[in-house]
Amino acid sequence: MKKRFQPLIKVTGLRRRWLINTLCVVLPLAIVCVFAVTASFAAYYYSGMESDLRYRARTTTDFFAENMIVDYNAYYKSCVKYAQTYEDRNSIELQFINAEGRLVASSYGPWAGDSPRTNEIREAMETRTQRAYVGKDDNTGEHIMAVSSPMVYSNGEVIGVLRFVTGTRVMHMQITFIGLIALVFFTVFVLIIVLLTNYYIHTVLVPVADITEKAQRIATGSYGIQITERYNDEIGILADTINEMSNKISQNEKVQTDFISSLSHELRTPLTAITGWTETLMSDESLSRETRRGMDIILRESKRLTEMVLGLLEFSRIEGDRMTLNVEMADIRAEFEDTVFMYGSRLKQQGITLNYIDIDQDVPEIPCDPKRLRQVFLNILDNAAKHGGGTVIDAFIRCSDTDIIISIRDYGPGIPEDELPLVKKKFYKGSSKARGTGIGLAVCDEIVTMHNGTLSLSNAEGGGTLVRICLPLE
């Protein structure tokens, strides 16, 4: 028996969650790596530049201390002249700053600028050791690195410092370039991880989607359906398990259906005999009042049991795919009105008023099985009388652009919201205390579905249950 099922739609959600979880780990790791690489190269460049400046400062001051054994003025002039004639002036500025912190000479010329005010100059004079500075030049705002080395005269007097200064702009550009290269590399790495992860997710979720789709079809009644075995891992074990479950359910359903069909056929013969002989005995006018009353109960209950047996037979036909339609062009409005008027007289004896609301609208003939649709109308009206709990039932038929719509409403307590999706399932009776097998609506839904229509139940505004049958015009 073919059943409708909803396609699997959660694969995208699982894929997104998996990718997000992966990126939450890979992205921070990649960012940390980019910063680590950039910081490592920055430390390497800064360390190398500072070592070079310290070496230049140390060799220069050592040269003056060992070779310039002259008087104070000559020593002072030699320092100034060396600063003014420094050969590497294009990349490094050499400054001579006197003991008062004033710029006396510079490899950039006599007008090199204002005297520097960085703290490493005073510290070098006070501690008589080299001192380094990295930061902005207070006068120009340029990012620089500077090393100040004290110039000590032979008598132990500090006459000033030789200060080597270089800009860090080029080095910053190199560090930035290395950072960009690292960023590009790790971006490519993350993209590769995402692609590989997406491929892996695809290899997992596609078979899971296939298995889930088959499981949904099994859950909606397509027992016996099999999942193609293409997997040799845990997914394959799951598929085998579901296949085995599907086979066993299919076998059990077949046994159950065969039993119901056989039992129903066996019950029809004795029920026919009971009904016939009861009607024969009741024709005897010599029966006492109490006997006639008992015979009436027997007749009524045997007819009810016969209806139940017929319902079980219909159900067994549905389960065994043996239900067929004798389709012909029919006036569905006339069929519905006849059913309402015929059943209305029976309900009147039970104190229930069946109102047929006549809508002045033409309803065209449609291809259908009128006998099966009468069965649907009677079953729904019977449910409204049994389960409605009210004294009024409304019935009407109208036509839309695409469908013929038949509506039947009672004014009882309605159906609990949590039971609405379940009332059309076979053998489901819910919280209703009325007698029945619980297969009537399942049979009705199948008949309407075979007509390419829909049967829906809802709670009407103001109380009661509204049953709506939509049959396509074509």
> Which CATH number fits the domain that encloses residue 312?
1.10.287.130
376 and 398 within one domain: yes
Q: What is the DSSP letter of 6?
A: P
Residue 167 belongs to some domain of the structure: no
pTM score above 0.75: no
CATH number at 439 reads: 3.30.565.10
113's tokens: 């600028």
Distance of alpha carbon 298 from the chain centroid: 59
Domains in the chain: how many in total? 2
| End position of a domain, from candidates 266, 297, 319 | 319
Confidence of residue 3 (pLDDT cuts 50, 70, 90): very low
463 and 334 within one domain: yes
At residue 70, the pLDDT reads 59
402 and 309 within one domain: no
Q: Exposure of 121 by Cβ count < 10 A (0-12 exposed, 13-18 middle, 19+ buried)?
A: buried
Residue 65 belongs to some domain of the structure: no
459 and 358 within one domain: yes
| End position of a domain, from candidates 319, 337, 352 | 319
268-298 pLDDT, tens digit per residue, is: 678 778 877 787 877 777 778 888 788 888 8
Q: Give yes or no for a contact between 167 and 22, defined as CB atoms under 8 angstroms apart.
A: no
| End position of a domain, from candidates 319, 352, 367 | 319
416-454 pLDDT, tens digit per residue, is: 887 777 777 766 666 565 555 567 788 888 889 888 999
365 and 424 within one domain: yes
Q: Give yes or no for a contact between 140 and 84, defined as CB atoms under 8 angstroms apart.
A: no
Residue 151 belongs to some domain of the structure: no
334 and 259 within one domain: no
Residue 98 belongs to some domain of the structure: no
Residue 421 belongs to some domain of the structure: yes
458 and 431 within one domain: yes
Q: What is the DSSP letter of 419?
A: G
Of 446, 427, 469, nearest to 339 (Cα)? Answer: 469
Residue 100 belongs to some domain of the structure: no
363 and 285 within one domain: no
Give the span between the Cα atoms of 143 and 136, in whole angstroms. 4
Q: What is the DSSP letter of 114?
A: S
Parent domain of 286 = 234-319
368 and 251 within one domain: no
At residue 469, the pLDDT reads 92
At residue 222, the pLDDT reads 67
307 and 281 within one domain: yes
DSSP of 42-59 = HHHHHHHHHHHHHHHHHH
Residue 442 belongs to some domain of the structure: yes
Q: Which amino acid is at 137?
A: D
179-234 pLDDT, tens digit per residue, is: 999 999 988 988 888 888 878 777 777 777 777 777 777 776 666 677 776 667 77
390 and 465 within one domain: yes
At residue 279, the pLDDT reads 78
Residue 345 belongs to some domain of the structure: yes
460 and 345 within one domain: yes
